[in-house]
Chain A
Amino acid sequence: DIQMTQSPSSLSASVGDRVTITCRASEAIVTYLNWYQSKPGQAPKLLIYSASTLQSAVPSRFSGSGSGTDFTLTITSLQPDDFATYYCQQSYDSPRITFGGGTKVEIK
């Protein structure tokens, strides 16, 4: 299976900060990379699909980039609602899809 490695595993940031989360695939996955936001007790939320396409109704402060093995999720100005855990997921090797280990964004 393709391994997805996220970094950092956690970070502390302040409201208004620019935040960057990295996801690396163990082999090339073109742009079959998706990002989700997860909060305790809530349904996870799709943010970005196909590496850089913003899901409908997701704020434009979220953006995704990358191709091949290296991908980035950027939040340009962190808002209080953005404190959550973020996961990447590869859909290249379907149905053997896999997720990253998650990045927890906490309040500094």
Chain B
Amino acid sequence: QVQLVQSGAELRKPGASVKLSCKTSGYTFTNNYIHWVRQAPGRGLEWMGIVNPSGLSKMYAQNIRGRVTMTRDTSTSTVYMELSNLGSEDTAIYYCARDGGGIREPAYYFDYWGQGSLVTVSS
């Protein structure tokens, strides 16, 4: 069955960076785009970005562009998301999610999600 298993909780100080992982299994890794979505405490879901099957094409939400980098390792079927210059507003649960479309074009809905990684930014 399709699974996305994320790395554990992280605690960072303001200004630091965090790199999260999302290991996938149960499907052909290169057939689907992967998204990252986050949810801050008491707030709604926020789309962060997308990386294509090869890892060569990425698109990020405008409000975090310049601070976020998404990569993927096809040898381990793992996707990574690194966010730099963290502030308190980055405290959130971060989810990776598989795109429900195919290899040619993403559908921008999410058919499988990881369990989430809590990132806490605090001095």
Contact = CB atoms under 8 A, between A and B. Distances in A.
A101 B115 CA distance: 20
B113 to A, nearest CB: 4
B50 A44 contact: no
Contact of B44 (A41, A97, A99): A99
A43 B116 contact: yes
Interface residues of B, number: 23
Interface in A74-108: 87, 89, 91, 94-102
A99 B45 contact: yes
Interface string B89-102: 00000010100100
B45 A89 contact: yes
A46 B107 contact: no
What is the interface of chain A mostly: helix, strand, loop, or mixed?
loop
Interface residues of A, number: 23
Contact of A43 (B4, B46, B108): B4
Interface of A: 32, 34, 36, 41-46, 49, 55, 87, 89, 91, 94-102
Interface of B: 4, 44-47, 49-50, 59, 61, 95, 97, 100, 106-116
